[in-house]
Amino acid sequence: MEFRLLGTVSVDTFTGPLPLGPAKRRSLLAALLLSANTPVTVARLTESLWDEMPPSQARSVIQGHVSRLRALLTGADAAAYGVELVTLTDAYLLRVPESLLDAQRFEELLMMARQQREPADAAMMLTEALSLWQGPALGGAFTGPPLQAAAHTLEESRLATVEELARTYAALGEHHRAAAVLRPEAVAHPMRESLAAALIKALYGAGRQAEALDWFHRTRRLLADELGIDPGRELADAYALILRGGEVADDAHVPPPAPAPEAPPAVAVAVAVDPLVRLPAPVAPAVPPAELLPRAPRGFQGRAEELAALGRAAAGEAPVCLITGPAGVGKTALALQWAHHKAAVFPDGRLYADLRGFSDTGEPELTDVLREFLPALGVPARRVPESASAAAALFRTLTERRRLLVILDNARDSATVRALLPGGPDCVTLVTSRHRLEGLIASDAARPVPLDVLGPQDGMALLAGVLGEERVLAEPVAAHRLAELCGGLPLALRVVAARLAGRPGRPLAALAAELADEQGRLGRLAVDDTGVAAALRLTVQHLPPDAVRLLARLGHHPGGHVDAYACGALLETGPADAQATLERLGAAHLVTETAPGRWTLHDLVRLYARDIEPEAGPDALVRALDQLLATALAATDTAEPGGGACFGLPDDFHQPYAVREFTDRAEALAWFAAERDDLARAVAAARSAGFHDRAWRLVLLHWPQVVLRVRDGWAPLLESALDSARAEQDAYAEARVLSLLGWVLTEEGRTAEAVALLEAAPALARKAGDGPGEVTATINLAVARAEDGDLDIALEDCRRAADLARAAGDWHTEMLALQHLARTLLTAGRPEQSLDTVRTALALGPEHEETARRALLLTTAGEARLLLGEHEEGVHLLERAADEAERGGYDEGAARALEGLLRVAERPEYRARYERAVRRLAREA
């Protein structure tokens, strides 16, 4: 874990930066880190977060940000690193080891540098200190006056360190290095005379007298024009030094070393301050820098975080940086963009080889690559060894004392990369691959830099880079839609841009409308020899047959994600074998693990997969639907034992090889909640393909989730299930769906619609011979009538339902009928009869069964006691109802019970629990 203030305020962890959220939360973290291990008062935090009059709820805002920040740190296991965010009386304290804070390490390196006797050692430490800076201090934060002052102080310290590093280089006689670190800062801070004076002396010391004089006159004119003043003493002294032809003074008070031989012109280049600069410098080569780098990518957009991550990964000794990602995501472009911006860091050159690991032309021989590398390093072509091992050994020897960048593009396996790794500790290797190359991570400590698709804004910026901002801004909605349809894949976006650039009069919306058609989307995402389908084909052709078969079937899976059980059903194998095949697809970046055990396909990969084996579509879809049915049955049996579906499975049901097991009710309900979106997709796919018998069953099997989250917008899904039941002319299915839909409509306040639907349900159930279904439909009809004001008819319906269930020996359904009978009696003003009914219902089932039902019965009993004037007993029953509902995750029941308690006892505890339950319901809705 690492805390950063020297750049964007952030917390880096092993799995990536924490999602800190809004600027004010970053400001809060910055204020706490600037006073790490010291209490920071709420008043001080308020000054830091607001530069004007703070809002009246400032304290609450701060408390909310502290709470979220503490949750983020806890989720990242901060305690294991000795990090703790503590709340004091009127202050907050962030305990953090100083070694985890970049600003503290910066100060420690400065102190150590000033204690060194040798200037070379001091320069190394100063360079390392400056490498900690990733941008302007406290970036990404909303800085109030205290934070502005802190950012200014940190920046002043950085500039002073740059000047100190330049003086150290001057003491070593390396004036060209001093000039290199000073020039960018002098450009950025033209009014800082100390920087200008130091740069003038460095240029003069490096033998660049004309440049030194030009910089003096430029600064003199700027001071006169902007401030109306003459140069100060430092600038004047530097100018006088040049005029009299004197020697540059030793500002570092270190005896100057013996004169160094003049470097060859080809390598006498400015080396900018960079995390990768290491000292002492390698011996200058006797040949010009090796340059095999292709041109920089055109229209490169975004990727600021990935470029920064690449810079961090490239630090250290002989690092190997591994850029991985799917086809077309821009791995090569990222590597080249970084390489072109780091030219000064690699004075001995930059080598590049396309290993063609995913190409129709095949991979080049190792000797062919080395026959390009070695001559670039000065080896005559006739002296290049014939054997691959000898050539590789010579390459490692030649790179031992050089500062070199090697890019190995499109690598397919780790073994090929290992043979081409340079031998020097100052060399950096960038590897790009569609595979994860975990072997290279294990053997050579390669540092992964995974690359994902672009966000919508960066995607639109890429389009604007080709088409021009005017054209994109003229149709921003269409441009955003194009970015979405391309799934953020840079290759697809570039193809779209190429199509539009060739037809300047064509509206962006027209192409977006064409791409919306999935059938022809991949065909339209191709121009000449470039396209998404072609890139994916080159990845797929290297897969083993079982992985290709799984990918083809995943293209027809209706869900947004899959797991090993779903893939096992598609492959007709067990989850362990399916998991291994999934891992192969994941290693090739054709599927992505978004959470442990949950995998998803990019939309364009899904479309490509469908075309691998289009004839497998119907079979793959029905197997996916049946696997969902089997899993939903298991979840229903766990969530509501004894209350599962009474219907049989379709005659042609495909029993999966294995079905997921659920350990308890909470896990089963969590699965239902997580699968809500995929349920809707599966039902739509089933209906579209004519599998109506699967569609209505899938919906009904989610009844435990419907019961718990009844107001969560289930009506459209149930209406589609009703259409499927009617399409099958299945009276049983129609009655069951009508019953559940009518109850949902009642809960939504649409009682007239509910009664109209439910009146037909009992007769349909009798026709189908579905006794339990008739009872349930009668109960739901009674509830709807009660809500509509027909209490007498509703009571008759409830009693009839209870009698039917009792005659059938179905105590679950009898308990349900009695629950609603008790509630209706209470509504009708008959609390004694209501209590008697509750006692009868509770006597039917064990206490651990029917959590939701027991909670509602206890709530009814509590309210009946209160109506009878038995206050203490009523409160006790309502408290039991709230406790049981909360333990069972039944927020609706908890809210009802707590609402009853608040009517008679306005306690803070009740209010807090009620509000938490309501918030959970709102969040889930």
pLDDT tens for 525-566 read 877 667 888 888 888 888 899 999 999 999 899 988 899 999
Element (H, E) at 633: helix 617-639
Cα 554 to the center of its chain, rounded Å: 23
Task: List the end-to-end C-alpha distance of the chain, in Å, as a whole number.
Answer: 36
Query: Sheet containing 91-95: which strands, arranged edge to edge?
Result: 40-41, 91-95, 84-87
pLDDT tens for 431-440 read 999 888 888 8
Contact 862, 882 (CB under 8 A): no
pLDDT tens for 795-852 read 999 999 999 989 888 888 888 889 989 989 998 899 999 999 999 988 887 654 567 8
Residue 448, pLDDT > 70, answer yes
- Residue 768 has, within 13 A of its CA and on its CB side, a CA count of 23
Confidence of residue 266 (pLDDT cuts 50, 70, 90): very low
Residue 623, pLDDT score? 93
Confidence of residue 259 (pLDDT cuts 50, 70, 90): very low
pLDDT tens for 712-743 read 888 999 999 999 999 999 999 999 999 999 98
Confidence of residue 605 (pLDDT cuts 50, 70, 90): confident
> Hey, is 407 helix, strand or coil?
strand
User: Which residue type, as a one-letter code, is found at position 827?
Assistant: T
Contact 525, 532 (CB under 8 A): yes
- Name 265's Cβ contacts closer than 8 Å, sequence gap at least 6: none
Confidence of residue 857 (pLDDT cuts 50, 70, 90): very high
CA distances (Å), origin 494, targets 330, 457, 477, 491: 11, 15, 18, 5
CA dist., res. 260 & res. 279, Å (int): 16
DSSP assignments along 846-915, one per residue? -TTS-HHHHHHHHHHHHHHHHHTT-HHHHHHHHHHHHHHHHHTT-HHHHHHHHHHHHHH---HHHHHHHH
**C-alpha torsion angle, residues 372, 377, 378, 382 (rounded to 10):** -30
pLDDT tens for 634-662 read 988 888 776 655 678 888 899 998 999 99
DSSP assignments along 687-726, one per residue? HHHT-HHHHHHHHHTTHHHHHHTTTSS-HHHHHHHHHHHH
Identify the CA nearest to 430 among candidates 495, 342, 352, 534: 352
Contact 768, 735 (CB under 8 A): yes
Residue with tokens 């499109």: 410
Long-range contacts of 809-814 (CB under 8 A, 24+ apart): 810/771, 810/772, 810/775, 811/844, 811/845, 812/642, 812/643, 812/845, 812/850, 813/772, 813/775, 813/776, 813/779, 814/841, 814/844
pLDDT tens for 677-706 read 888 899 999 999 999 999 999 999 888 888
- Residue 559: both structure tokens together: 């869900």
Residue 709, pLDDT score? 78
Length of the chain: 925
Instruction: Tell me the residue ranges of DSSP E strands in 761-835.
Output: none
DSSP assignments along 793-809, one per residue? HHHHHHHHHHHHHHHTT
- Residue 716 has, within 13 A of its CA and on its CB side, a CA count of 9
Residue 849, pLDDT score? 56
Residue 685, pLDDT score? 92
pLDDT > 90 in the chain, percent: 22
> Hey, is 275 helix, strand or coil?
coil
Taken in order 698, 703, 709, 712, is the CA torsion positive or negative?
positive
Residue 274, pLDDT > 60, answer no
CA dist., res. 359 & res. 44, Å (int): 60
Residue 742, pLDDT score? 92
Identify the CA nearest to 6 among candidates 111, 195, 138, 159: 138
- Report phi then psi at 592, rounded to 5: -125, 135
CA dist., res. 698 & res. 675, Å (int): 11
Residue with tokens 């800062």: 185
For 837-867, letters b (16+ CB in 10 Å) and e give bbeebbebbeeebbbbbbbbbbbbbbbbbbb
Q: Which residues pair with 352 in a beta bridge?
A: 407
CA dist., res. 462 & res. 459, Å (int): 5
CA dist., res. 434 & res. 355, Å (int): 12
> Hey, is 480 helix, strand or coil?
helix
